[in-house]
A and B are shown apart, each in its own frame.
Chain A
Amino acid sequence: MRPTEQNLSAGKASWPAGNPGPGTRRAGRWLSLLALLAAGLASATPQRIVSINLCADQLLLTLLPRERLVSVTYLAADPTQSMMAEQARGLPVNHGRADEVVRLKPDLVVAGRYSQTQTVSLLRALGIDVLELDVPASTDQLIQQVKDLGQRLGVSGTADTEIQRFRRTLDALDQSALPNRPLAALYRVNRGTEGRNTLIGELMHRAGMRNVADELGVRRWGTLPLESLLLAQPDIVLVEQSSDRQPAMAHQFLQHPALRHLLAKTQTAVLDNRGWRCAGPWLTQSLAQLVETRSRWSATRADPTPVQAPP
């Protein structure tokens, strides 16, 4: 951002403040103190940022001006993987390998905490500053992450604006206080599901749904056998759809006749997994879709519960 760049240049310009004349000594001391401070600030605020993780890509694209992003992953510009594909277009891409990153001479590399430990330790051994992003399991953790990231990158203002907008939308959409909470099942590709201690689990709760995974004792991630899904007799089935339509076993499970039978008699929503696979402000889009699904469900009931209109 502008102010930081000015600090940086100011710091460099006023650094050689040696041999002040008599009389200006006092002012010179102050000046050099200021210069030190500015230089300290400048060195703490990395300018050349490289991201080697898709989730980091998207958060950085949200918070940073384009010119500070030296490189993002090749997935960031792929519209089937990324919510920020438009913004990422044209940026140099990397494949998350240490040798690519070193050549870019970054001030800071942002990586994922669990998927890239080898690369991260190699980069650190080479003296490169690496920030590892946790995988937030709740919107609170996401907000904290954005706040920390904003401070580290010197864009606290942008981060705060994003956080406030995010909080406002979350609160406006919130349906968790409504009575008559429908039972919803999240059926992910490859038969996965998620419980309360995940982002999508929290969004389901905020959309005023009970979660089949919670009732089956799945706290975070688990498998949802088709039989268990049928037995739970959910009111709503949320089917994960990968936005790439490439053939894989993962999608075969969605073709199962028993599942189609269930989908025919329940409220169904197809969730785009880009909207919640990575944590970011775009989660509100998924929440809006869940709220819309819930209101479709209550509309079909004899005594529909009033639903707050989304803003």
Chain B
Amino acid sequence: MNAPSQSPTSQARWLWPVLVTTTAVLFIASLKVGPASIPLWDLTTGNAGAEAATLALILAEIRLPRAILAVFVGGTLGLCGAVLQGLLRNPLAEPGLLGASSAGALGAVIVLYHGLATTVPLALPMGGIAGALTGIILIMFLAGRGARPSTLILAGVAVNSLAGALTALALNLAPSPFASLEIVFWMLGSLADRSFDHVRIVLPFVLLGWPILLTLRRPLEALTLGEDVASSLGFDLRHLQLRVVLATGLTVGACVSVSGNIGFVGLMVPHLLRPWVGHHPGRLVAPSALGGAALLLGADLLTRSPVLGQELKLGVVTALLGAPLFLHLLWHLRRRLL
């Protein structure tokens, strides 16, 4: 665990193998663990016995889409956290705290409960995307590049509380009697009993957004030298900002529309990985995608812990993990500012 102090500017060589292995192990655990323990090996070799058909159905239609969604949603949140922190040069930037996620949830809620989602194809993710884009654009206007961390957080608080209030309003006005009970899902998120229908909703937007985010390594790296140097090196900052806003809106909006608002992943992952990439915001981007996937797979496994008897909401687990880190970061920021 002393790699960062030994080589402060280089990336730990073992980072990728560790991330890949962790994600793979958690993915397989995610397929295996639940109310039914699935004997993966016996299933593939045909030795699962009388329950084989049921177990195969559970594996293929419940566990697999759930694990894939955890990878997509977690990866998206980690990726967007890393990119936003690099762009805004602000350690507190992430989709949840900035309000992009809750604005996305608002968009999805409006579309879903007022009937558009059943009549117009792709209306649900489009609603989420429209919401997330609105949220992130609002943040950029309120506290764009170079704003102090506290300004950014205040802007995030404003967008978050507005989106939260409007979500509650939209659910109260919704014609369905279940709507107001479902606010818990939209505020805290869950991947329970999602299906490949939801994977199909998210997939195109992940395929569209992730490549944009993953190729931001060099401009983000250049940005660490200052805005003037970055533009003299040929990186158009307005263009960079536009790409970040678009890709964040697309991916976060689509993810939130199927998983609800899951907080703190985009905050935690870049912070945990930063020391291992030599504090380079550019190099942080790709590992953060895998780190986010691993974190959400792990958090989702915890929600299914049989100790609790009942499934937790995913956002509860990520908040329990993330909030202490958030407090720790605030504490350090305060010391630095004094």
Tell me if A191 counts as interface (CB < 8 A to partner B).
Answer: yes
Q: Is there an interface contact between B113 and A248, defined as CB atoms closer than 8 Å?
A: yes
Q: Which of A222, A228, A250 contacts B176 (CB 8 A)?
A: A250
Cβ–Cβ < 8 Å partners of A191 in chain B: 192-193
Chain A residues, CB < 8 A from B34: 225, 227
Kindly state the separation between the CA atoms of A276 and B116 in the bound complex, as whole angstroms: 31
- Residue ID in chain A nearest B61 by CB atoms: A258
B-contacting residues, A155-214, CB 8 Å: 189-191
Which B residues from 130 to 144 make CB contacts under 8 A with A? Answer: none
Distance in angstroms between the alpha carbons of A244 and B112 in the assembled complex? 15
Question: Are B193 and A253 closer than 8 Å at their CB atoms?
Answer: yes
Contact B61 A257 (CB under 8 A): yes
Given A248-B176, A249-B112, A261-B57, A227:B36 Cβ within 8 A: yes
A residues in contact with B182, CB < 8 Å: 190, 248-250
Whether B181 contacts A226 by the Cβ 8 Å rule is: no
Cα distance A149–B174 in the bound complex, in angstroms: 35
B residues near A26, Cβ cutoff 8 Å: none
CA distance A256 to B195 in the complex (A): 6
The reply to whether A247 and B35 form a contact with Cβ atoms under 8 Å apart is: no
The contact size tier of chain A is 20 to 34
Could you tell me if A261 and B115 are in contact, using CB atoms closer than 8 angstroms? Answer: no
The main secondary structure of chain A at its interface with chain B is helix
Q: Which of A226, A250, A261 contacts B193 (CB 8 A)?
A: A226
**From B113, B114, B118, B177, contact of A81 by CB (8 A):** B177
In the complex the two chains form, is A247's CB within 8 Å of B176's CB?
A: yes
Q: Is B62 an interface residue (CB 8 A)?
A: yes
Q: Tell me the bound Cα distance from A222 to B192 in angstroms.
A: 15
Contact pattern, B 183-219, Cβ under 8 Å of A = 1, otherwise 0:
0010000001101110000000000000000000000
Judged by a CB distance under 8 angstroms, whether A246 is at the interface is yes
**Within residues 156 to 177 of chain B, which ones have a CB less than 8 A from any CB in chain A?**
174-177
Chain B residue contacts of A246, Cβ below 8 A: 113, 115, 174-177, 179
Name the A residues within 8 Å of B5 (CB-CB). Answer: none
Provide the residues of chain A in CB contact with B310, threshold 8 Å: 222-223
Chain B CB within 8 A of A242 CB = yes
Contact of A244 among B35, B63, B176 (CB under 8 A): B176
**Interface status of B117 (Cβ within 8 A of chain A):** yes
- Given A233-B54, A247-B113: A228 touches B35 (CB 8 Å cut-off): yes
> Which parts of A231-246 form the interface with B (CB within 8 Å)?
231, 233, 242, 244, 246
Complex CA distance for A230 and B61, rounded to whole angstroms: 11
Say yes or no: is B16 at the interface (Cβ < 8 Å to chain A): no
Q: Is the CB of A230 within 8 A of B117?
A: no
Query: Of B51, B62, B118, which is in contact with the most chain A CB atoms at under 10 Å from its CB?
Result: B62
Which of A223, A250, A261 meets B311, CB within 8 Å?
Answer: A223
Specify which chain A residues have a CB less than 8 angstroms from the CB of B61 in the assembled complex.
256-258, 261
Chain A residue contacts of B176, Cβ below 8 A: 242, 244, 246-248, 250
- How many pairs of residues, A versus B, come closer than 8 Å at their CB atoms? 89
Q: B58 touches which one: A189, A190, A227, A255 (CB < 8 A)?
A: A227
Closest beta carbon of chain A to B184's beta carbon, Å? 10
Q: Return the chain B residue nearest A217 by Cβ.
A: B309
A250 to B178, CA, bound (A): 7
Q: Is the CB of A258 within 8 A of B36?
A: no
Per-position binary interface string of chain A over residues 40-64, scored 1 when its CB falls under 8 Å from any chain B CB and 0 otherwise: 0000000000000000000000000
Q: Bound state CA distance, A261 and B195, in angstroms?
A: 13
Q: Contact between A257 and B117 (Cβ–Cβ < 8 Å)?
A: no
How many angstroms from the CA of A226 to the CA of B66 in the assembled complex? 12
Q: B112 → chain A, closest Cβ, in Å?
A: 6
Which of chain A's residues have a CB closer than 8 A to the CB of B196?
257
CB < 8 Å neighbour of A225 from B115, B177, B181, B192: B192
Q: Which of B51, B118, B195, B196 has the most CB of A within 10 A?
A: B195
A258 touches B113 (CB 8 A): no
A249 contacts B185, C-beta separation under 8 Å: yes
CA distance A190 to B185 in the complex (A): 11
Complex-state Cα separation, A249 to B184, whole angstroms: 11
B236-258, CB < 8 A from A: none
Q: Chain B residues with Cβ under 8 A from A189's Cβ?
A: 178
Query: Can you list 7 A-B pairs with a CB-CB distance of less than 8 A?
Result: A190-B181, A223-B310, A233-B54, A246-B177, A248-B179, A250-B178, A261-B57
Other A-B pairs beyond A231-B54, A256-B62, 14, CB < 8 Å: A189-B178, A225-B192, A227-B35, A227-B58, A230-B36, A246-B115, A246-B174, A248-B113, A248-B179, A249-B178, A253-B193, A257-B61, A258-B61, A261-B57
List the 3 closest pairs (A to B, CB-CB), nearest first: A246-B176, A248-B176, A258-B61
